[in-house]
Copies of this chain bind each other. A is one copy, B any other.
Amino acid sequence: MFKGDGFMFFGAIEASGAKFVCCIGTEKGEIMERVSFETETPEITMEKVISFFKNKKIEAIGIGCFGPIDLHKDSETYGYITSTPKTFWRNFNIVSEIEKTLNIPVYFDTIVNTAVYGEHIWGAGKNISNTIYLTIGKGVGGGAIVEGKLVHGMLHPEMGHIFVNRHPRDKFVGNCPFHGGNCLEGMASEMALERRWGVEFKDIPENHPAWDMEAFYIAHALVNYILVLSPEKIIIGGDIIKRGNLLTLIKERVVKLLNNYVQNDKILKNIDDYIVLPKLKDDSALLGALALCFKK
């Protein structure tokens, strides 16, 4: 890795509760080098982060971070991971830790906001001012670009916890420590799916009723995002969504639930181009974190 001939390099971190992915990349979104490691304690993990970036001659670093986090620049706890259930990381100032060690500018947002931003700059949401990115994994989270801007607001959106109607045949108690069986994460995360059916989601067969129920919950959430935000594109990431015909089932249910209320060809005629998989595959958040470094 070197700097010269007008090339500039930037760093990016995708910090999830499960793993950290770090990379060096360019303004064009090319990834030159990457590492990833399991998320352990801040001491162990940050040491690995710093040793990767040290001496790389990068101009800045962007971080997409698991949350909740404090994004208010005028707050005393700006840059902190706040009330996370991962107790080791609670009240850890990840921004200052990197700033003081590497002495370069650090840009910071939620991992789902960097995911939607990555897709906005280089992916399925390119040139689109209103886009949602939802990821369904061990947890469920979402980020949004509204009228060209990343949404922060009071705190930051927590779309994965949106309340959803209960499927009439579902007796599952729910898996969310805060909202039980009321919210999307509680009913549709990998963990919810596996607890409900007592089997790893990878082993659930294509024709199992689990998928129709999963589509029910995700579609109810999407309908509400559509009614609240009026997005021009909805991008869904994570591993579950790649399974069988889940995406098709979701699209059918969204159209049916809206019941012609939202009169727009994106929904009525082009739903396959409206609810889509990430174009950047598993790198939406990492590339979005990189893009934060040169965000205007």
Contacts and interface: CB of A to CB of B under 8 A. Distances in A.
A68 B149 contact: no
Interface stretch (A3-11, A15-23, A219-227): A219-227
B262 A158 contact: yes
Contacts of A82: 263
Interface in A172-226: 178-179, 182, 220, 223-226
A151 B263 contact: no
Contacts of A165: 163-166, 182
A233 to B, nearest CB: 9
Contacts of A263: 68, 82-83, 155
A130 B153 contact: yes
Interface residues on A, range: 35 or more
A280 to B, nearest CB: 22
A161 interface: yes
Nearest to A83: B263
State the number of copies, please: 2
A164 B261 CA distance: 16
A227 B264 contact: no
A235 to B, nearest CB: 14
A260 B146 contact: no
A266 B129 CA distance: 29
Contacts of A101: none
A264 B179 CA distance: 17
Nearest to A225: B228
Contacts of A97: none
A66 B212 CA distance: 37
Give the residue among A228, A232, A262, A263 with the most B Cβ atoms within 10 A: A228
Contacts of A227: 157-159, 161-163
A147 interface: yes
A68 to B, nearest CB: 6
A177 B265 CA distance: 21
A198 to B, nearest CB: 26
Interface of A: 68, 82-83, 129-130, 142, 144, 146-159, 161-166, 178-179, 182, 220, 223-232, 257-264, 266
18 contacts: A130-B152, A130-B153, A146-B146, A146-B151, A147-B147, A147-B150, A147-B152, A149-B149, A151-B229, A151-B230, A153-B231, A154-B264, A154-B266, A157-B227, A159-B227, A165-B165, A165-B166, A178-B260
Q: Which 7 A-B pairs have the closest CB atoms?
A: A153-B230, A130-B153, A178-B261, A147-B149, A146-B146, A83-B263, A154-B230
